Structure formats: C-alpha cells, structure tokens
A = this chain, B = another copy of it.
Amino acid sequence: MEKENSFSTINQERIEQYLPHLSIDCCVFGFHENQLKILLIQWEGFELWSLPGGFILPDESADAAAQRILRERTSLQDIFLEQFKIFGEVNRTNNPESRKVIQQSGLDPTAQNWLLQRTISLGYYALVDFSKAIPTTAPLIQDCRWWDIQAVPPLMQDHAEILKHARKALQLHLLNKPIGYNLLPEKFTMTELRRLYETILGKSIDRRNFEKKMLKLGILDRLEEVKTNVTHKAPLLYRFNQAKYHELLNADFGFGF
C-alpha cells in the first residue's frame, strides 16, 4: 500500500491566512564537537531536505514569525536571529524541478498551488546552543536533525544558495562582532573558541595569534578553575564578560582602522 502523502491534506484556506508571496527560511547553526552544524528538516514524502521555514501571519512581525517557526523546531525561546538577505527571483519556487517534486508528492503541480506561487523568501540565520536545542518534527515534517556543515544533503529549491549566503553573512559577522556567546557553553577553553572560528571561516588559524587577538578584545574572563576530565595538561577555562561582550556587540564597526 502506498503511503498517503500528508501534503494532500493541506487546508488551502488555512494556509491562506498567511501573508501571500512571502516566506521565511532559516539557517540554524549550532556548534558541536568542534564542528559547525546546520539544522535541516525533511517534509513528509520528500527525499530532498529543507531549511526550516514557514510563513508570516498578518498580525505578526517578520522577526516574530521567524522566532515562532524556530521555537516549533527547537523548543528554544528568544533565539539569536539575524535577517541577512532576501531571495526574490521570480521562478525560485515555480520551476520544472519544483513542479516535479510537487507532482511526485501527489499534489497539484499548477500555479494554483500555494507552494508554487511567486514567493519572496526572507533569509534568517540563527545561532543556538547545540546542547539545548531539541530538534522537533511535526505532522508534515517527517525528520528534523542536525547535519555537519561539511556533509549537507541535497536541498530543495534554492536552499543550498540560501545556506551559502547565510554562511557568508555569518563569516562577515564573526570578523566584525563577537559571536561565541550564542554557540558555546558557558565555560570554554581557548582551543574550543578557536575551533569555532575555524569551522565558521573554513580555515585553520594560528593559535598564538588568535589567543593574542581574542584577549586584546577584552571580552573574556579567565576563570580560576581549569577543564577537568582531560588526559593531558588541564587547559584554562574562559567565560564571556557579559558587559564587555555587549558593549562590543553594539559598538561601531572598525576593528581595521
């Protein structure tokens, strides 16, 4: 017996409560075992994976919609979100590939289908504490899980393009603002902080030079305790100094001049 596709049960009236022609797609980044991770979902009946996304209610700001969408996928509140770019090409949701996917799912592949209407997507990226996020499915979402950024599966529509731009925005952010607070546990070693930078920038960074630059920023408090449960010399632990971290976060740019 063929598996019934839940998408055919989408209530057109219910989906039309949202603002038309607009969607939100989120690149949710986490950091685990020295690797950058991305949260992806698989819609019921689809082979391709997707960025978690959704639509905007008429009485809801775009930022609030993104928070709601990600709360449903991670159980986290007040997620660190940045709207980094929009994706506004005319045929990004209605092209031969999309129609084929829609048809394979037993849905109407004509322009009347809400999923094929002209849709401008608002791209957000989110930084979350990997250890606290709980990847969560839903009736139409058969899977929701973390993927290593080096091994992302084939993605629907232009989601690979959206992810590419999110990574660039994240790199730019990292080089101009403090970033670790949302991705690291409360206490961390200098090596863990450097690995975070390396995995986001996709290149290795000189250890001493990094430590010197980080300490010079003045946003780290060195703790009295050291990391335990390690086999060799116990490394120093650090914590972000909240006041100085936020001061730098809100300061004008200008590391360079």
Contact = CB atoms under 8 A, between A and B. Distances in A.
A252 B58 CA distance: 38
A40 to B, nearest CB: 23
Interface string A215-257: 0000000000000000000000000000000000000111111
A175 interface: yes
A19 B118 contact: yes
Contacts of A85: 83
A120 interface: yes
A252 B201 CA distance: 9
A211 interface: no
Interface stretch (A25-33, A86-94, A137-145): A86-94
Interface in A185-206: 197, 201-203, 205-206
Contacts of A256: 175, 213, 255-256
Give how many copies assemble into the complex: 2
Of residues A202, A210, A213, A252, which shows the largest number of chain B Cβ atoms within 10 Å of its Cβ? Answer: A252
Contact of A88 (B56, B175, B253): B56
Interface of A: 19-22, 56, 58-63, 65, 83, 85-86, 88-90, 118, 120, 122, 168, 171-172, 175-176, 197, 201-203, 205-206, 209-210, 213, 252-257
B122 A209 contact: no
B61 A175 contact: no
A58 B60 CA distance: 24
Given A120-B22, A175-B257, A61 B89 contact: yes
20 contacts: A19-B118, A21-B21, A21-B22, A22-B22, A56-B88, A58-B90, A61-B88, A86-B86, A171-B254, A172-B253, A175-B253, A175-B255, A175-B256, A201-B253, A205-B257, A206-B257, A209-B257, A213-B256, A255-B256, A256-B256
A205 B254 CA distance: 11
Contacts of A58: 90, 118
Contacts of A176: 172, 175-176
A90 B60 contact: yes
Given A20-B20, A197-B257, 20 more contacts: A19-B118, A19-B120, A20-B21, A21-B21, A21-B22, A22-B22, A56-B120, A63-B88, A83-B85, A88-B122, A168-B253, A171-B253, A172-B172, A175-B253, A201-B252, A201-B253, A205-B257, A209-B257, A213-B256, A255-B256
